[in-house]
Every structure is written in structure tokens, then in C-alpha cells.
Structure 1
Amino acid sequence: MTDTPSFRSDVTVELVKHSASDTDVLWAARVSTVGEQSLEEVSKDPERSKGLINYLMRDRHGSPFEHNSMTFFVSAPIFVFREFHRHRVGWSYNEESGRYRELEPVFYIPGEDRKLVQRGRPGKYEFVDGTPEQHAALGKTMEDSYRQSYAAYRELLADGVAREVARATLPVGLFSTMYATCNARSLMHFLGLRTQHEQATVPSFPQREIEMVAEKMETEWARLMPLTYAAFNANGRVAP
């Protein structure tokens, strides 16, 4: 534990365990037509059946995409997790607790590539680059605020106040950590809402910070299930 705050502009996403492959989609789908013979798919090359995967995606037969699992370790600002936890179907979460441990002073400050200025109104707004002066003012203001809030937190702890009460002084820019477990179908739904992509048929307007997490998850999933990932993109990035 350190009393000195540190600042980050990135996020961490690590795939810690998985049971996920394109073959999982095939045996789950074929049980509806061949019953126990679908077990033969477990050991077969899924490349020969990529047309079936595309068909399932295109016609939105979603359940075969649920027979797999991926667990990610995520480190990101608390405000990202508050958005993330709105995704409930097909997801399981366990997050670090400020009731049971003293929280580390790691805080989020947007990088220079983060667009700062909002124009328009909800549903039609856009974000544009901030000026160097805006970035400088933002960084200084956020650092000052973070240092003050964390000093207050530590002071309350030193006075004997319980962790679960003292944490109320801390901002949502504080980094937290969690494990998030999902299947391919739930991840596709998450990606459809939390990323912008040229192949998406339904536009999305995610906050950049949660999109950073989503992009890292997408990279890992694309490696595990390349045929399913290709079908997702080819069919407009709409979850089946």
C-alpha cells in the first residue's frame, strides 16, 4: 500500500481461463438434427462447417453460441464497471471490495488522444478533439481532485473509520479490478453495443473508456473462435 497516487490513461484486460472454440458451436447446433451423433463434431475440424456457423449467425439461432466460457481479468475505472454491469444476461462478475481491503490510489486521467468536447444532444451528439489547453487543465484538475479525495480517505481510516464508510470520499475515476465471465453470445451482444465498427449495421455510441475494454476482449475472442468471429462481422455485428 502506498500513500502516493498514480495515474493511468489505459485499461487492463487479460484472458485468464477459457473453454471456447468454434467446435463448441457445431456440436451444440447439430444435436437438434442428429442427436447423440453430434458428439462426433467434438473432434472434427470446424473449418469444414463454417457455413453452418454463418447460417446460425445470419438467421439468429443464438443458443449454440452459449456452450463456451471465457473469464477475463479487468482493471479499469469504477465508472467503466458501472456501465459494464448493466450487461447481466450471460455474464458473471466478482469485483474487488472497498469494504474488505484498503483501496490502492490508482486513478484515471484521459490520454491526449481522448476526444474531450461534446457537440449536439443525446442520440445525435459527437465528440471532437480538445485543445492542448483543455487537456492540460483537465489533467491538473483531476490530479488535484484525486489527491485531495485520497488524502481524505486515508485520514478517515487513520481516525478509525470503517473502510466501507471512508471509501465514500473516493471518486469513480478510481481504478477497480474484477473477473468477468461470459459466453460468445453474451460477448457479441456486449461488443455490438460497446464498440464502433465499420461492419456494424446498427450504430453504437459507446463511451470511449468502456470501448477500450471491449476492444481488448474482442481481440482475445477473435483468436479463440475465428470462424464465429468472422460470421459475427459478416452479419453486421448483431448478436444472434
Structure 2
Amino acid sequence: MTDTPDQPAAPSFRGDMTVELVKHSAADTDVLWAARVSTGGEKSLEELHKDPQRSKGLINYLMRDRHGSPFEHNSMTFFISAPLFVFREFHRHRVGWSYNEESGRYRELQPVFYTPAPTRKLVQQGRPGKYEFVEGTPEQHELTSSAMQESYRQAYETYQRLLAGGVAREVARAVLPVGLYSSMYATCNARSLMHFLGLRTQHEQAKVPSFPQREIEMVGELMEEQWSKLMPLTYEAFNANGRVAP
């Protein structure tokens, strides 16, 4: 009896994003000992064992007056799964970020594709710089979902046909769309994350308005939720001072 080759996985479709905090060294005390070394030298090490709440005012001062370097002495690594078009925007953030993404050269890419959730606003109104997005009709959502799924299935079938014909993965992947999900590790510090959030999320406390694409904003919101628990005083100061990175 001979073994039969594994059948390719059937395409699947989703509209959510995955963000997992896999590793971190980040706390409000990191901001304090980094800041106090300028005046206290070696005595700044005492901050490692003190309650950061007692120095809440210092954190707010550093944020307000944009003394940014004390917010860099920490680290967070996230595992993120999102469509390729989200990562292409994400990778524009280079200062204070490190990335490693799965490679279509070294593995067969899995058929997981993005389709907008029913809550995703579909219709763009106005001109560039002043446009807004509004709800789509049920018919528009149905059209979007069915058209995307049809296109994705055809693209993945072509990808599989190329692979079966002996074409290299790095060549065959060219037929796949930007709605394909990829995964990566993204490592940052609080300062670089605040800069990301200031540009990629909308918030009522933001001094400077931002108009991000909804899908990258979804990723930002999940990262923000997890960071806020690690450095609550820093997070509070970030919001109180207009969500502008120091």
C-alpha cells in the first residue's frame, strides 16, 4: 500500500487579527531608573525596588516635556497574524522596531485570507484629506465577501498548480494576493510603540488626528491593550498628554 500525498488545505477566511505578547521586560520602574541616572548616578538603581506610583509625577513630566529616552529602556515582543497589506504598512515603522516574518521562500504559505467583518465600514465618501468611511449595505458586504473569496480560491489554486509543477516557492508566491495572512514577531519599546499608536489609532484624547486603515488599527488596539497592563502609569501619561510620543 502506497502513501497518498497530503491534500492542500482548503482556503479559510477571517476578519480578525491576532496579537499575542510572547515576551517582555517592561515596567514603569524602567522609566524611573533611566531618568534618575541623570541626577543620581548609581543611586538610580534604588528605583528598581521602589513603588513607581510614588514617582507618577515624574513620568508625567517626562511625557509632557517630551524627554523620550527614558521610555526606551524596556522591551516587548508580540506575535502578530494579519494580512500582508497590514504588514506592509507596519514595516514603515523602523525606528525602535525589529521584525521577523514568515517566509514564502522557505515554507508553503497557508490559505488563510482576509474578508471584512460585517462591522467593517465599506464605503468611502469625500475627497482625499477629507473623506470618511460609512457603513456598507448588506448587499455590498455580500458582494465584497463573495468576490474576495472567489478571487482567493482561484489564486491559491494557481499557487498550488505551480508548486505541483515544480516551480520554486519564491516564484509561485507571486500569484498570491495581499489579503493573505502572514505572521511575524515584532519587538519594540514603549517609545516606539507610542509613536505607532499615535499614527495608527484614532482616540478621543489624541491631540493630533489620525486616519489609519481600520485593519492596522485593529492590530494597534490589541497591542495597546496589552501594553497598558505592563506600564499603567506610562500609559496614563501618554493619554493625558495627547497621545503624542515623547
TM-score range, shorter chain: over 0.9
Alignment equivalent of 1:155, drawn from 131, 154, 161: 161
1:100 maps to what in 2?
Answer: 106
Alignment equivalent of 1:52, drawn from 28, 53, 58: 58
Cα distance in structure 1, aligned partners of 2:8 and 2:52: 50
Alignment equivalent of 1:117, drawn from 123, 126, 133: 123
Q: State the AA in 2 paired with 1:64.
A: P
Deviations along 1:9-46, whole A, 9 cap, x unmatched?
Answer: 10100000000000000000000011111011111000
Alignment equivalent of 1:195, drawn from 189, 197, 201: 201
TM-score (norm 1): 0.99
2:149 maps to what in 1?
Answer: 143
Q: State the AA in 1 paired with 2:75.
A: S
Alignment equivalent of 1:70, drawn from 69, 76, 98: 76
2:224 maps to what in 1?
Answer: 218
Q: CA deviation at 1:3?
A: 2.9
Moved over 2 A (4+): none
Cα distance in structure 2, aligned partners of 1:11 and 1:212: 7
Q: State the AA in 2 paired with 1:49.
A: S
2:182 maps to what in 1?
Answer: 176
Cα distance in structure 1, aligned partners of 2:20 and 2:62: 29
TM-score (norm 2): 0.97
Cα distance in structure 1, aligned partners of 2:204 and 2:231: 20
Stretches of structure 2 lacking an aligned partner (at least 5 in a row): 1-6
Deviations along 1:93-126, whole A, 9 cap, x unmatched?
Answer: 0000000000000000000000000111221110
Stretches of structure 1 lacking an aligned partner (at least 5 in a row): none
Residue aligned with 2:207, SS: coil
2:97 maps to what in 1?
Answer: 91
Aligned residue pair count: 240
Residue aligned with 1:94, SS: strand
Residue aligned with 1:75, SS: strand
Cα distance in structure 2, aligned partners of 1:2 and 1:178: 23
RMSD: 0.7
1:10 maps to what in 2?
Answer: 16
Residue aligned with 1:76, SS: strand
Q: State the AA in 2 paired with 1:42.
A: L
Cα distance in structure 2, aligned partners of 1:125 and 1:67: 39
Q: CA deviation at 1:2?
A: 3.6
Instruction: Name the % identity.
Output: 81
